[in-house]
A and B are shown apart, each in its own frame.
Chain A
Amino acid sequence: MAELILDSVSQSYAARQIIADLSFTLPEGMIGCLLGPSGCGKTTALRCISGFEPIQTGEIRIGGEVVSRPGWMLAAEKRRVGMVFQDYALFPHLSVADNVGFGLRGQPSTERLARIDELLALVGLAGHAGQFPHQLSGGQQQRVALARALAPRPRLILMDEPFSNLDVELRERLSLEVRDILKRETTTALIVTHDQHEAFALADWVGVMHEGRIQQWDTPYNLYHEPANRFVADFVGQGALLPGEVINDHLVEIELGVLNGHIPVECGARGCDECVRSCHVDVLLRPDDIIHDDDSLLLAEVENKAFRGAEFLYTLKLPSGQRALSLVPSHHNHAIGEKIGIKLAVDHVVAFRRE
């Protein structure tokens, strides 16, 4: 295990920039995640780190050692970086045990066998050592792939959309299991996914990527509650943006009232703190920022509703015609078209300047 550092890395292919000025630090033993829509460059970033793609600018360091810089890269087989592929890429001609032991060549056979047993036990496949990949279910293949990647004790584990071939239920269970396995092996790991639930369940650090750039590298909590820009606010979690006007450096007025708190307006090219008074912003309201209160004088019309078991997600139409989302305990079952009372419960004010 080792720290992973990307320092302003760019990569382009046939005059098209795939990743641009990518920088982040994943501390030793932590699980990081690159999250973004397809085509945002996250898989390319992973392939640069694993040593299958060259980089054009910047530097990649693993445990302090430079492994990629423009014009040079350490061969993939010498990096000691393990990878779990989207299609698992298990060797079809080898048994489960031989797959896991593939990277352990050159070690004494007793140590090898011990390590194979240890890993199969870790991923819960101790009884399947002699089976072949095609005899296993998707989830089992996935765990063999993880065990195989972990076996040679790599400095870093990379996982490319590790759960995309599995059904939803299995996905949630496995992502918790995988986190547990990675933590027990105390491995530094970087995972690529387009699914924020997966990212939040697995990772200590998440980087949201868009158009080849990291938009924000932060903890899942901060990504949700303090998104750095409109893209992150929109991509991570649900919510609505309501127009508002800044009164002073800690007050902003929107249709539903005045919000009190620190107002970190999105930083643009013109700098961050220009707007302290009477400038126009969009304020992010998460569904849990608007709560239902029958006594409230503030009314909104139920335009749509989605039943989620424990709660309803209501789409509300405000008097001005703006729309907002509200998460309401499910015993408050209101009909579409009904007007219900709401009030604000905002902990973090998130506002983006209107252009």
Chain B
Amino acid sequence: MKIDEIKNTISQIFAMVELEFRRVIHDPTEMVTRAIQPILWLVVFGGVMARAGVFSNIIKSDYITYVTPGVILQSATFIALAYGILLVFERESGLLKRLLASPMPRFNIIVGRSIAGAIRGSIQYLIIIPLAFLVGAHLVPSLINLTLGYIFITYGLIGFTSISIAIASILKTRERFMGIIGAITMPLFFASNALYPIEVMPMWVKVIAQYNPLTYIISGLRNLLIYDSLDIALDLLALTFFNVFSILLATASIHRIIE
């Protein structure tokens, strides 16, 4: 690959990210309203569970702190997984036809939009983390850890956005798409370490949780934000597998959306 080609690839990928930024700036309502639910989880659910002292012998921190990464991921994952609806809209308008007839390779469309969706999702991190500090979560108050956490969660959400694009490409209509997304979000959340440690799960949920990418995002975030540890290599590796797999899957299926 020549330098020019690499430059063009990066420029095209970032055009897709820039597009998303500009849309959010024109209308940030969704970003704010989406944060309401996790805030309730954190304050009400987290508060009650903390007072009951649940898992106090396992989790090495208070429950509000423990659950913070989990509730961020709950709404962030939903945003990433719902991102594909945008492609369904773009399919109904002529935008996708135009994009697929443009010189931008399909791979660049997928990677660009997956990063865009991931950034849309990780905005939740930026809203909820300060609030978590306010309600007394004991997160590591280090700018480095917090920044690493942001990059890490964004990276982890790329794969979920790609999966969403692949699902949109195959299902094509908004009803079917939202039906599936609604059906997988909660199971994904419950079969992960978002609300409770893996140790307390029944065996069969444990098995699922180990194959659930959400588990690795949350575990990495906990290491960075709660335990002040950089031990995230395994999580990164798992998420890299997931991202590569999802991006390839989405690249292979995107053409189906306009057929």
Q: Are A and B part of the same complex?
A: no
B residues touching A (Cβ–Cβ < 8 Å)? none
